[in-house]
Amino acid sequence: MLDLKKTGELKKAVKTVFDKVNAELKKLDLPEWDERRLTRQEGGLGYIPGEKITLTDEVGMADVLDNDTNKVIAKYPAVKLSNGAWFSLKHLVKPSLAGYSFKGNFVEDLDGKGELVGETVKNGILRVADVDPDFDPSDSSQFFDFGTRNLLEIYVLIQEGNVSVNGTEMTFRGTACRPIIAKKASPLPSMPYKKGANRVMRQQIWTK
């Protein structure tokens, strides 16, 4: 267990994890994490509202696999579930839901030309906000309070035994959506939207 009273103890342990992951990514010839991940604070996976999962205290760096080649293309900090599957640590952080809608249909496109036509979308993709109507975002007791929103710090706190989530049951409450207009074109070849495109920020909501 970390002695959190020692100045810099947590940050030192986080840097060790960071360096270890980057060494592995380098061996795989994959893009390494940049140092912003050391300080970044976090604001689906085929789950349906009401579905439940149970956490363990085993954490690790889970693989993101290419759908076509099945090769590892990225890593993310995760906690293992009681069924053996990996679950992203970002789902344990209380989400910031200002400006998000809990119900409704939204358009996402690459060029700003998409439009809703009834329950479908023309020239774009339909994004649906669908959150349990009984979900109360003001009830802080349903979320973890780790004292930080940085995923690597949460990872280390669980790994070192300073925090335990073992046996905690989590319930998927749904996905909230926040439509935005892209202020500039995407720099990513895999997501080539233009300035002025309709984009939708999506936030999955999990509660204890």
pLDDT average, residue stretch 4-14: 74
Residue 113 lies in a domain: yes
Report residue 194 CA to chain centroid gap.
24
User: Can you give the pLDDT at residue 44?
Assistant: 44
User: Can you give the pLDDT at residue 68?
Assistant: 65
The count of structural domains within the chain is: 1
Q: Is the pTM of this model over 0.75?
A: no
Contact 3, 9 (CB under 8 A): yes
pLDDT of 167 above 70: yes
Residue 3 lies in a domain: no
The alpha-helical segments, DSSP class H, found in 59-198 are 151-159
pLDDT of 43 above 60: no
Residue 150 lies in a domain: yes
Residue 154 lies in a domain: yes
pLDDT of 37 above 70: no
User: Can you give the pLDDT at residue 47?
Assistant: 76
Q: What percent of the chain has pLDDT over 70?
A: 90
Q: Which two tokens stand for residue 54?
A: 């149970």
Report residue 67 CA to chain centroid gap.
19
Strands (E), 144-197: 169-181
Contact 200, 179 (CB under 8 A): yes
User: Can you give the pLDDT at residue 13?
Assistant: 76
Q: Which is higher by pLDDT, 71 or 32? A: 71
Residue 88 lies in a domain: yes
Q: Which is higher by pLDDT, 20 or 136? A: 136
Residue 80 lies in a domain: yes
- Domain, as residue range, for 166: 9-207
Worst-scoring range by mean pLDDT, 11-15, 31-35, 94-98, 120-124?
A: 31-35
Q: Which is higher by pLDDT, 66 or 197? A: 197
pLDDT of 40 above 50: no
User: Can you give the pLDDT at residue 11?
Assistant: 76
Q: Which is higher by pLDDT, 26 or 198? A: 198
Residue 47 lies in a domain: yes
pLDDT average, residue stretch 147-159: 93
CA dihedral (56, 62, 66, 72) in degrees, to 10, reads -150
Worst-scoring range by mean pLDDT, 11-15, 86-90, 161-165?
A: 11-15
User: Can you give the pLDDT at residue 172?
Assistant: 93
Residue 2 lies in a domain: no
| Banded model confidence at residue 187, pLDDT cuts 50, 70, 90 | confident
Q: What radius of gyration, in Å, describes the C-alpha atoms of the chain?
A: 19
CA nearest neighbour of 2 among 157, 188, 147, 150: 157
